[in-house]
A = this chain, B = another copy of it.
């Protein structure tokens, strides 16, 4: 029913680029995904400099995908690089993982623990969460999305999630789409017994609601 342009902000080979699109298609049968990645950023987006570098690349890809017929665009990164810029340019809806995670977390009447790969929670999440943001924690030894792929990275993520729970979080938002690639949310939900929000699931539901709203 809907053609979705999925923008990855890490330069990878096409089979890997399509990982989030495949997750989205499995969760949302109404989506057909076309996945693209930004060029020349094999380490992805993990700080202000890499975000700034990504923004014009994301905007260019978003425009190309929209011109090629995408009904909507997902920027599959919790930092939402280029989301406001692409949204201002395009007629189709543009959504990011960060804003989607933050609003989903707001529904729980509880402090929000953010588990990410940057020392501060993404600005787009902090803006929405306000005083609801309890803390942002980075799993020990994890510096970019690739570090999450190792067993040590995943054990560190479990420990960090439990730390957030022990500090009073009532819900955990996974602020790196690398957590979706390795399907870590159910493991952390089981480890913490707290609702644990997966960024790819959240960006998908946000785009779906935008597409349905505009469809009527």
Binding site for B on A (CB under 8 A): 27, 29-30, 99-100, 102-104, 106-107, 109, 127-128, 130, 183, 185-186, 189, 195-198, 201-202, 205-206, 208-209, 212-213, 216
Contacts and interface: CB of A to CB of B under 8 A. Distances in A.
Number of copies: 2
The residue in A106, A109, A189 that gathers the most chain B C-beta atoms within 10 A of its C-beta is A106
Nearest to A185: B216
Given A103-B107, A104-B103, A216-B186, A202 B197 contact: no
Chain A interface main SS type: helix
A215 to B, nearest CB: 8
Given A109-B127, A127-B109, A208 B206 contact: no
A128 B104 contact: no
A196 B209 CA distance: 12
A206 B205 CA distance: 8
The residue in A195, A198, A205, A213 that gathers the most chain B C-beta atoms within 10 A of its C-beta is A213
20 contacts: A29-B29, A99-B107, A100-B107, A102-B106, A103-B103, A103-B104, A103-B107, A106-B128, A107-B128, A107-B206, A109-B127, A183-B216, A185-B216, A189-B213, A195-B213, A196-B213, A198-B213, A201-B209, A205-B208, A205-B209
A201 to B, nearest CB: 5
